[in-house]
Structure 1
Amino acid sequence: MEPGEGKERCLKQRQVLIFFVLLGIAQAGAEPRHYSVAEETESGSFVANLLKDLGLEVDELAARGPRVISKGKKLRLQLDRQTGDLLLNEKLDREELCGPTEPCVLPFQVLLENPLQFFQADLRIRDINDHSPVFLDKEIILKISESIPLGTTFLIERAQDLDVGSNSLQSYTVSPNSHFHLKLQNSSDGIILPQLVLDKALDREEQPEIRLTLMALDGGTPPRSGTALVRIEVLDINDNAPEFAKLLYEVQVLENSPIGSQVAIVSARDLDIGAYGEISYVFSQASEDIRKTFRINPKSGELLLTQKLDFESIQTYTLNIQATDGGGLSGSCVVFVQVMDLNDNPPELTMSTLISEIAENLQETIIAVFSVSDPDSGDNGRMVCSIQEDLPFFLKPSVENFYTLVTYTALDRETRSEYNITITVTDMGSPRLKTQHNITLLVSDVNDNAPAFTQTSYTLRVRENNSPALHIGTVSATDADAGANAQVTYSLLPPHDPHLPLASLVSINADNGHLFALRSLDYEALQAFEFGVGATDRGSPALSSQALVRVLVLDDNDNSPFVLYPLQNGSAPCTELVPRAAEAGYLPYLPLPEAAAEQAQADPLTVYLVIALAAVSSLFLFSVLAFIAVRLCGRSRAASLGRCSVPEGHFQGHLVDVGGTGTLSQSYQYEVCLRGGSGTSEFQFLKPILPNFLAQGEERVSEANPSFRDSFEFS
């Protein structure tokens, strides 16, 4: 087969759309709808409106995705999706499409793609009388012996008319003459055969040749006609007709036989001698196809091939061969030629429906509907269809070599987003021929993955006294989906503690998960808090996940120490702390540091006390004891109180913050009274001396206990 012919056949097969799939897939057993149109009707002409037969309204038609498919080289019909009108794509020639076959029916289908449905129908091409009867031989020669008896009939070559039905050839007439009349005989296949019947004996000496006009008429309105000249040569007597050795010759010829090959040899003999015994071979009642394909040697009877055979076009030929002697007598035989098929055509695949993209969560979805064909016969035309084994698809056979490519499980785009599928069709001939068709299928995303945080919980540390709008950390989540299904939006979740003012503490950037402190944090007010963060994608429906964020507030040294006890408001009763007779260096409970003891011995008026302090810091979270240096300023009961103060500067025994992040100090003044007389060994705190009192140097006398009072200050 030539490359051009292969391409043409490929195009033809691509146009062969789903004729029988309706029976096996969508509407098994449904009777087709019938429509008709006269041949030679102009392209674009209206054939029928299919809305009623399809059971659709006008506004439903376009959404169903209708299209016309047909089996054959071309798609000769089109469907107007807006109106449902079925229109011609081209001017149709019934004789070209169907030849002598009547009725001339072109099957077609209407494919509704969404959802998949088939509507089976056919279009009948009505014949018009556009062909006249034609005699293939414009001159018909009959050689008739003058001794032929009256009433003898002579079969003459018939005319041919490409039209069918009433428009086909209906009758013959012959020009008026005194020797013959016309007799019409119907053959077994319905063909009208013209015969001449001898009415008057021939006399060669009187009239050696008779010329008649034979007219063929069809049944059209008005009728068409064709004529041929019948020339009758009157011969001398010949009393033996040729006889063939066999009346039927059966031969088989390979379809790839070269032009000029011998098909058969026919042979006849005649017992007469001379001109009456000379035989010539000719075709009788041969069609145009036979005359183009074969040639017979008129002398030898050798039947030769004049053009290539094609099993896929014509499988058999029946040839009528006539042997005529010199006296005009003839005999006939039949040669039956059977064309033998070769595996010269690879399988062909015609794709009817193809989906190039599928959502990942669909199961048992039809990806493609296609048909396979092979014009060869026997094993040469038997086919096997397959795809790769490592794919989540399978081929499902239907009727008339139709297949559907179906997914057998839901696909996962996150695992594989594209499939390259190769459909292989192999015939069973020798050698085996195959055809492959490649399909690329894209898997579209479905929102089947929720955003996933990189951590289930986050712990953030920020020091107190931060500036507002400070970036304190970031949460991050990813989504395995694609497009909008993978776009993540962050949000704060309502806190478990309804009293936590989360909205005024932190905010989150919805696009990138950045967290910000909305105000300055105070460790002394809030040491830690936690809240939930949500991540939501933009799929439909949206999916989300959440993570826990814990914020630990780090302490800064932003609070000075202060005395918890003795109270500074003077409301507490005088508390005994140190015996009046205490020696220098005396301390209740804790030993003095070495440096403090040496200082106490050098200055007998300095008393070291242990005072309960409160310091709020990350390293000092509760009340602590500190060394306080107190210098006694009183001298005697009768003496007025004086003032003295601890030297400024940092030294062992100051009231200081020991957190290690810096030194903060606070000064306090207290009145101290000695209990009992001068011989007692105890003193008490009375109440603090406010700074303005210390500046004025006033005395503090306890009304409840008129004992000697000394005042001191410490820092």
Structure 2
Amino acid sequence: TMQTKVQNKKRQVAFFILLMLWGEVDSESIQYSVLEETESGTFVANLTKDLGLRVEELAARGARVVFKGNRQHLQLDPQTHDLLLNEKLDREELCGSTEPCVLPFQVLLENPLQFFQASLRVRDINDHSPEFPAGEMLLKISEITMPGKIFPLKMAHDLDTGSNGLRSYTISSNPHFHVLTRNRSEGRKFPELVLDKPLDREEQPRLTLTLTALDGGSPPRSGTSEIHIQVLDINDNIPEFAQELYEAQIPENNPLGSLVITVSARDLDAGSFGQVSYALFQADDINQPFEINAITGEIRLRKALDFEEVQSYDVDVEATDGGGLSGKCSLVVRVLDVNDNAPELTMSFFISPIPENLPEIIVAVFSVSDADSGHNQQVICSIENDLPFLLRPSVENFYTLVTEGALDRESRAEYNITITVTDLGTPRLKTQQSITVQVSDVNDNAPTFTQTFYTLFVRENNSPALHIGSVSATDRDSGTNAQVTYSLLPPQDPHLPLASLVSINADNGHLFALRSLDYEALQAFEFRVGTTDRGSPALSSEALVRVLVLDANDNSPFVLYPLQNGSAPCTELVPRAAEPGYLVTKVVAVDGDSGQNAWLSYQLLKATEPGLFGVWAHNGEVRTARLLSERDAAKHRLVVLVKDNGEPPRSATATLHVLLVDGFSQPYLPLPEAAPAQAQADSLTVYLVVALASVSSLFLLSVLLFVAVRLCRRSRAASVGRCSVPEGPFPGHLVDVSGTRTLSQSYQYEVCLMGGSGTNEFKFLKPIIPNFPPQGTEREMEETPTFPNSFPFS
């Protein structure tokens, strides 16, 4: 009735809920169970309670459920982390005839990595009815068959297992037969028809019975097949097989059409009653992989075998003679496993990129499996030997891929890792999976300059903001860690005004001169530049830069002697008895530049009497070019050109006044340019008188000379009537750079002639008339150390 059905459904729902809430926990793993065909999202278990962890810890450690083959039968509730069904489960699809149907899985936790073994048992419900391989069966039974004769029938097949599987057979009510339910050794049940009352062909030549197969479900399900019985005429011998049970083994990779086994039966009758034909009785004739030759009894393969799906087959073979009598035997075919399945690799966890400088980082977690059995199912896992990674086995064929040590991104930023899984079968099969692991950068490298010491050359008088050179630094890191900036470091010399000399572009390291440089003021300077990356913390380094200022020819030669300061010029005295090459004086000049810009050369630009005097080009010495004569003028004006070797060359001139005298003891007072002509015609007597007076007044003149020199040096005034003495650190007698004295003779003198006042004065060392021997030798004259070397004379 309808009420009874409602009560049964309520009992089923209550029983289903109890089963859903029940989980088994053993010493090795946690087991849960659920009925097949349960709706998706149904609660299975409280994972936090079973694992002894809080919901927050499960969320923080990224709890996940991992099944074999990437099938997600369960899911975790994101809020409560309860185990829920992810999909409807069909036990027959998942496990076939295997009982119990257990699906192992793992609960994977991270940080630290941890596994919890668990399994889900899918329990059967009665959702399949028994089915016969054919809707009709034909039996030919001789009328002389005695009661108690057993006739095998085709058995039904039920996909359910356990109590929901096939339980019994019944037959429709009739006076001649009843049915027996038999059990095979593997647990299957097959029907046998038993004759209760002899048949009478003349009374009833044909019978039709209904065979019903019942399962053990509640309520039970059933399937039927029609049995058509044809009553035969007398035939008193039935075919008999040589064996009641045949057994055969066949590798799963045998080709189609290959022979499995040959069965044989014989019938003692003669004629058509003794001719035997063979037939197979299989649970599913359409899908069964075997076929039999009806005449020879050869059983051959008609469909490919797969050990991973079915490991053995039970087949009934029937032999029937021409009179309709039949005999039966059983055939058990065992399928042998062949290594025809490559291992499978399932990646459960993978992270990339990974940071450098950290050891033993978990990169990946994966599981391996093989659908074969025995040695064919055993696998080994490996990676390349030259990689800094290790494979560590975990539980239940799980492996973790970890770094062997700290990685260095600058040495290698990417690793291509091939994971190879190989089984131990023959031949060995393998599966490879490649992963790419990127290494992220850490700021562990300071920037480095391409040179530790830079030398830059800048020509003086440069324009401000001139680019004088560049420094460059690189950083082996990447990204912002490799971006560098440049700066000037404080100079080690506190007096160096570096901030006003150079600047640096912080982005590209270009150096610029901030102002015009002067070689004569600053020939070279050094400073340090620094570079800093943009990592955290920032790293830096420094380099030394030396700037050399190159000289430009921007200074003209400067004449030190004779002094060209616009004051009264000094006159050089030359005795008329001087030999050719006599050193008159030496022009001394300097150049503020350097190198070839300071190389000076001398040449006589103008002369009162050309050919009388000459200038040496390299040292500026003015010498006589020939013997002097009485016809040569007494006063000469020479203009000497001093030129440097720069490009373009610069020059200066020096004006010399030379006075030819007969002897240094004869005072000779040249008249100014505007003096009367008769002054030049003075006789020699005047000179002799002056010389004699000088000799007689030696003591007085010496005292006066001392006083005059002191007064002249103190005042240094360029007034008329005083001797003009060159300023600066030059002694009263000039010495050339080579160390020789200005004059080649042994006496030293200074002559200062002033014009324009009508009076003249000259100075000499001693009032002694020098002798000029004919041989040209000179007598050395010693300077009196206690008296000044010159005195005014008017």
Could you state the TM-score of these two structures normalised by the residue count of structure 1?
A: 0.65
Does residue 687 (structure 1) correspond to residue 685 (structure 2)? The answer is no
For residue 46 of structure 1, report the CA deviation from its aligned partner.
6.7
Decide whether aligned partners of structure 1 residues 316 and 584 sit closer, same or farther in structure 2, where only a CA change above 3 A counts.
same
Does residue 447 (structure 1) correspond to residue 471 (structure 2)? The answer is no
Residue number in structure 1 paired with 2:479:
483
Residue number in structure 2 paired with 1:123:
120
Matched to 1:456, the amino acid is T
After the TM superposition, which residues 374-393 of structure 1 pair with which residues of structure 2 at under 5 Å, given as runs?
Answer: 391-392=387-388
Residue number in structure 2 paired with 1:214:
211
Question: 2:338, 2:372 within 8 Å by CA — same for their partners in 1?
Answer: yes
Decide whether aligned partners of structure 1 residues 228 and 346 sit closer, same or farther in structure 2, where only a CA change above 3 A counts.
closer
2:240 aligns with one of 243, 254, 266: 243
Matched to 1:687, the amino acid is S
Decide whether aligned partners of structure 1 residues 91 and 400 sit closer, same or farther in structure 2, where only a CA change above 3 A counts.
closer
Matched to 2:485, the amino acid is T
d(CA) in 2 for partners of 1:203, 1:248: 30
d(CA) in 1 for partners of 2:112, 2:638: 92
Residue number in structure 1 paired with 2:292:
296
Matched to 1:482, the amino acid is S
Matched to 1:452, the amino acid is T
After the TM superposition, which residues 12-411 of structure 1 pair with which residues of structure 2 at under 5 Å, given as runs?
Answer: 31-41=28-38, 68-72=65-69, 75-76=72-73, 84=81, 91-111=88-108, 116-141=113-138, 143=141, 148-149=146-147, 156-178=153-175, 184=181, 188-194=185-191, 201-202=197-198, 204=200, 210-231=207-228, 242-271=239-268, 279-284=276-281, 286-288=282-284, 292-323=288-319, 331-340=327-336, 351-354=347-350, 357-363=353-359, 365=361, 391-392=387-388, 407-408=403-404, 410-411=406-407
d(CA) in 1 for partners of 2:502, 2:108: 60
d(CA) in 2 for partners of 1:539, 1:83: 42
d(CA) in 1 for partners of 2:272, 2:476: 99
Residue number in structure 2 paired with 1:515:
511
For residue 688 of structure 1, report the CA deviation from its aligned partner.
4.6
Decide whether aligned partners of structure 1 residues 549 and 236 sit closer, same or farther in structure 2, where only a CA change above 3 A counts.
same
d(CA) in 1 for partners of 2:645, 2:132: 132
- 1:184-241 C-alpha deviation (Å, 9 max, x unpaired): 555554445555666x643526555554433333344443322233455566777665
For residue 247 of structure 1, report the CA deviation from its aligned partner.
2.8
For residue 144 of structure 1, report the CA deviation from its aligned partner.
7.2
Q: Comparing 452-461 with 170-179, which one deviates more in the overlay?
A: 170-179
Decide whether aligned partners of structure 1 residues 341 and 105 sit closer, same or farther in structure 2, where only a CA change above 3 A counts.
closer
Residue number in structure 2 paired with 1:589:
none
Residue number in structure 2 paired with 1:458:
454
2:288 aligned counterpart, secondary structure: helix
For residue 294 of structure 1, report the CA deviation from its aligned partner.
1.4
d(CA) in 1 for partners of 2:494, 2:367: 68
- 1:29-56 C-alpha deviation (Å, 9 max, x unpaired): 9844444444345667776675666777
Identity %: 62
For residue 88 of structure 1, report the CA deviation from its aligned partner.
5.7
Relative contact order: is structure 1 or structure 2 higher (C-alpha 8 Å, sep ≥ 6)?
1
Question: 2:72, 2:86 within 8 Å by CA — same for their partners in 1?
Answer: yes
d(CA) in 2 for partners of 1:447, 1:359: 11
For residue 330 of structure 1, report the CA deviation from its aligned partner.
5.6
Decide whether aligned partners of structure 1 residues 234 and 123 sit closer, same or farther in structure 2, where only a CA change above 3 A counts.
same
- 1:418-449 C-alpha deviation (Å, 9 max, x unpaired): 44555556667676666555444444444333
1:686 aligned counterpart, secondary structure: helix
d(CA) in 2 for partners of 1:33, 1:446: 43
Decide whether aligned partners of structure 1 residues 377 and 97 sit closer, same or farther in structure 2, where only a CA change above 3 A counts.
closer
Question: 1:267, 1:301 within 8 Å by CA — same for their partners in 2?
Answer: yes
1:96 aligned counterpart, secondary structure: helix
For residue 282 of structure 1, report the CA deviation from its aligned partner.
3.9
- Gap runs ≥5 in structure 1: 1-28, 564-581, 587-592, 598-607, 620-648, 666-674, 698-708
Does residue 537 (structure 1) correspond to residue 565 (structure 2)? The answer is no
| Cα RMSD (Å) | 5.6
Question: 2:175, 2:197 within 8 Å by CA — same for their partners in 1?
Answer: no
Question: 1:464, 1:522 within 8 Å by CA — same for their partners in 2?
Answer: yes
Question: 1:596, 1:652 within 8 Å by CA — same for their partners in 2?
Answer: no
- 1:574-632 C-alpha deviation (Å, 9 max, x unpaired): xxxxxxxx99689xxxxxx95559xxxxxxxxxx9x9xx9999889xxxxxxxxxxxxx
1:223 aligned counterpart, secondary structure: coil
Decide whether aligned partners of structure 1 residues 583 and 172 sit closer, same or farther in structure 2, where only a CA change above 3 A counts.
closer
Decide whether aligned partners of structure 1 residues 489 and 63 sit closer, same or farther in structure 2, where only a CA change above 3 A counts.
farther
Decide whether aligned partners of structure 1 residues 72 and 290 sit closer, same or farther in structure 2, where only a CA change above 3 A counts.
farther
For residue 62 of structure 1, report the CA deviation from its aligned partner.
7.4
d(CA) in 2 for partners of 1:409, 1:289: 62
d(CA) in 2 for partners of 1:110, 1:396: 19
Question: 1:145, 1:235 within 8 Å by CA — same for their partners in 2?
Answer: yes
After the TM superposition, which residues 566-645 of structure 1 pair with which residues of structure 2 at under 5 Å, given as runs?
Answer: 594-596=583-585
1:681 aligned counterpart, secondary structure: helix
- 1:119-144 C-alpha deviation (Å, 9 max, x unpaired): 44333334333222222233345537
Decide whether aligned partners of structure 1 residues 402 and 144 sit closer, same or farther in structure 2, where only a CA change above 3 A counts.
farther
For residue 491 of structure 1, report the CA deviation from its aligned partner.
2.4
After the TM superposition, which residues 662-681 of structure 1 pair with which residues of structure 2 at under 5 Å, given as runs?
Answer: 680-681=704-705
Matched to 1:509, the amino acid is N
Question: 2:69, 2:346 within 8 Å by CA — same for their partners in 1?
Answer: no
Decide whether aligned partners of structure 1 residues 94 and 348 sit closer, same or farther in structure 2, where only a CA change above 3 A counts.
closer
- 1:479-509 C-alpha deviation (Å, 9 max, x unpaired): 2333223221222334445666655554432
Could you state the TM-score of these two structures normalised by the residue count of structure 2?
A: 0.59
d(CA) in 2 for partners of 1:77, 1:102: 20
Decide whether aligned partners of structure 1 residues 547 and 520 sit closer, same or farther in structure 2, where only a CA change above 3 A counts.
same
- Gap runs ≥5 in structure 2: 1-25, 561-570, 576-581, 596-636, 654-697, 723-756, 758-790
1:95 aligned counterpart, secondary structure: helix
For residue 292 of structure 1, report the CA deviation from its aligned partner.
2.0
For residue 181 of structure 1, report the CA deviation from its aligned partner.
5.3
1:160 aligned counterpart, secondary structure: coil
Matched to 1:226, the amino acid is G
For residue 307 of structure 1, report the CA deviation from its aligned partner.
1.7
Decide whether aligned partners of structure 1 residues 215 and 326 sit closer, same or farther in structure 2, where only a CA change above 3 A counts.
same
Residue number in structure 1 paired with 2:625:
none
- 1:461-488 C-alpha deviation (Å, 9 max, x unpaired): 5577766655444322222333223221
Decide whether aligned partners of structure 1 residues 81 and 616 sit closer, same or farther in structure 2, where only a CA change above 3 A counts.
farther
2:443 aligned counterpart, secondary structure: coil
d(CA) in 2 for partners of 1:387, 1:559: 81
Residue number in structure 1 paired with 2:769:
none
d(CA) in 2 for partners of 1:273, 1:321: 22
d(CA) in 2 for partners of 1:433, 1:184: 46
Question: 2:351, 2:363 within 8 Å by CA — same for their partners in 1?
Answer: yes
Question: 1:425, 1:436 within 8 Å by CA — same for their partners in 2?
Answer: yes
d(CA) in 2 for partners of 1:220, 1:338: 31
